[in-house]
Amino acid sequence: MADNDTDPTSSLGYEQARDELIDVVRRLEAGGASLEESLALWERGEMLAAVCRRWLDGARARLDAALQASPDGPAPAPGDAGG
């Protein structure tokens, strides 16, 4: 991903960002934080959500490219009734 100096979340893997995002959401939902702390948590959550979205978008692009490269096109999903 990007240079770690410009974006502190850039070195996070998908699972790490997702797990931290879950923790942020739990802390926000629990309440008890000051307004300033809540805003900082919210901002961190937004950054983590963006990291997750980039990973998921990248995975989707790789899947789409693999499907396009397949000579027969996409294979039927498991369990699909083949006519």
Average pLDDT of the chain is: 86
Residue 77 has pLDDT above 80, yes or no: no
* Residue of 82 and 60 predicted with greater confidence: 60
- Long-range contacts from 9-18, C-beta under 8 angstroms, 24+ separation: 9/47, 9/48, 9/50, 9/51, 10/51, 12/48, 12/51, 13/55, 14/51, 14/52, 14/55, 14/56, 17/48, 17/51, 17/52, 17/55, 18/48, 18/52
pLDDT tens digits for 35-71?
A: 999 999 999 999 999 999 999 999 999 999 999 987 7
Residue 3 has pLDDT above 80, yes or no: no
* Residue of 66 and 77 predicted with greater confidence: 66
pLDDT tens digits for 9-43?
A: 778 999 999 999 999 999 999 999 999 999 999 99
Domain extents in the chain = 14-69
